[in-house]
Structure 1
Amino acid sequence: MAPLVHAAQATGVTTLTLDSPANRNALSAALVAELRAALAAAGADPAVRAVVLTHSGSTFCAGADLKSPCDPADFLGLLREIAGLPKPVVARVTGHVRAGGLGLLGACDIAAAGPRSTYAFTETHLGLAPAVISMPLLPRLDPRAAARYFLTAEPFDATEAARIGLITLAAADDPEGAEGADAVDQALEPVLAGLRKASPQGLAATKALTASAVREALERDGARLTELSAGLFASAEAREGITARFERRDPSWVL
């Protein structure tokens, strides 16, 4: 089986690429396991100052793999490891992000996205709730915006994602030619340059400060919300919602 996560090294930076475009980089058990292993390796490498998390294909991450879902406890472990890694984790997004994929953005320290990226918390339309991902996201998001988008599952763009605190910066197309992925890379140049100049001790101590609210939420509420997520996935409403998604029809509760 081909790897689902690829690691590449540059000066002081490890780039981890989610590479399962056939299922839109969904959070399968295999992808989550590979990503956790790759993060651990980067965290243990003294030459690494930062980790960039990015993707192949048109979708950063579509959320849970509804055909082969990971254990919610393993996903919780992944979020804890991103937030607890003693090195900054920077998300580089050029495509779409849905549901659980948004939890990855919340756990990352910095997130940059391109003008064609879109976002949606799709859980309520499937009979689910953004339970586990609420822990890294609620400390970062504008509360009114979180309530709106968590409840309605409306899609929104990168400009709105930056306004509400989901991402750090939204890169605009450069009128002189840079667009999409190139625009994101240009926006990240000063970010990565700053991280390369920082000391390992300084980065670790500073991340412990800036990510403390996310880490505390994951520790405090992790068991309860993981149990809630598992219960919702096993419910009759979720079975109907997921079945309807695969059958490309509205679920029975739609008015």
Structure 2
Amino acid sequence: MTLVGRTRARGIETLSLDSTANRNALSAALVGELADALTECAEDGGVRAVVLTHTGNTFSAGADLRDPPHPDALVGVLRQIVALPRPVVARVTGHVRAGGLGLLAACDIAAASGTSTFAFTEVRIGVAPAVISLPLLPRCDPRALARHYLTGERFDAAEAVRTGLVTVAGEDVDEALAPILDGLRRSAPEGLAETKALLTAKVLETFDRDAADLTALSARLFASPQAREGMTAFLERRDPAWVL
């Protein structure tokens, strides 16, 4: 079964996360397929830009708790998006949680519908948004991230724009994206690649400096007793033991 759909129109390659049974959770298999698709896009001179979107009402629910990717694999696919010599544009028409927000932050441009919602839910299951901080911390408002990281609150598309997580939000996401995609089609490929390299240099420095430490932190937290309780409670649809 294919977990990442692919279509192309006028130089725009659209990659669609297509694992609706688990709300496009980031399983080892989905992350592997996405990495392969991104590699092919990087090598294909006919691709001017990539749109990363989804089927169903959830862009991604975060890590698949039953079949999570290795932290190294998640770091790898986030870095691929940042370093891809083509602009990557996220198109969101639903909900984004936890690790899915890392994908969003790794993209160069992100557009969301007005009904989309977002939440960093890691603290509520006993872990931290460690690996996904690699693209998030350099790009988003630190005060806003402090609130949303620490509380796990759900927030809307307007707040996502204010924090820098999302570039543009609108009732019709495709209408909001139309001038952006038109601009990318009108831009010279080498100019796009070099301009993207200018914009992502600091983000890639963060990956090179912090990826190993944050990967180790993620692995340690996911193996902890609190995380086991948090994930079990989530799957059993109950509050974890620490809730007062």
* TM bucket, shorter chain: over 0.9
1:129-148 equivalent positions in 2, closer than 5 A: 129-148=128-147
| Alpha-carbon offset, residue 116 of structure 1 | 1.0
- Distance in 2, matches of 1:46 and 1:74, equals 25
Aligned to 2:242: 253
SS in 2 for 1:51: strand
Q: Which runs of 4+ in 1 moved over 2 A?
A: none
- Distance in 2, matches of 1:203 and 1:62, equals 31
1:231-242 equivalent positions in 2, closer than 5 A: 231-242=220-231
Cα deviations by residue, 1:37-67 (Å, 9 ceiling, x for unpaired): 0011111111111000000000000100000
- Distance in 2, matches of 1:192 and 1:43, equals 18
1:141-156 equivalent positions in 2, closer than 5 A: 141-156=140-155
- Distance in 2, matches of 1:245 and 1:124, equals 12
The one-letter code matched in structure 1 to 2:224 is S
- Distance in 2, matches of 1:57 and 1:241, equals 26
SS in 1 for 2:13: strand
The one-letter code matched in structure 2 to 1:152 is T
1:2-21 equivalent positions in 2, closer than 5 A: 2-21=1-20
SS in 1 for 2:14: strand
Aligned to 1:225: 214
TM-score using structure 2 length: 0.99
The more displaced of 37-46 and 51-60 is: 37-46
Aligned to 1:127: 126
Gaps of 5+ in 2: none
- Distance in 2, matches of 1:109 and 1:166, equals 10
Aligned to 1:99: 98
Aligned to 1:179: none
SS in 1 for 2:165: coil
- Distance in 2, matches of 1:61 and 1:212, equals 26
The one-letter code matched in structure 1 to 2:177 is L
SS in 2 for 1:7: strand
SS in 2 for 1:25: coil
1:51-130 equivalent positions in 2, closer than 5 A: 51-130=50-129
- Percent of aligned pairs sharing the same letter: 64
- Distance in 1, matches of 2:220 and 2:175, equals 43
- Distance in 2, matches of 1:94 and 1:219, equals 32
CA RMSD of aligned residues (A): 0.6
- Distance in 2, matches of 1:166 and 1:98, equals 13
- Distance in 2, matches of 1:146 and 1:97, equals 15
Aligned residues: 244
- Distance in 2, matches of 1:62 and 1:217, equals 25
The one-letter code matched in structure 2 to 1:144 is R
Aligned to 2:37: 38
- Distance in 2, matches of 1:220 and 1:32, equals 23
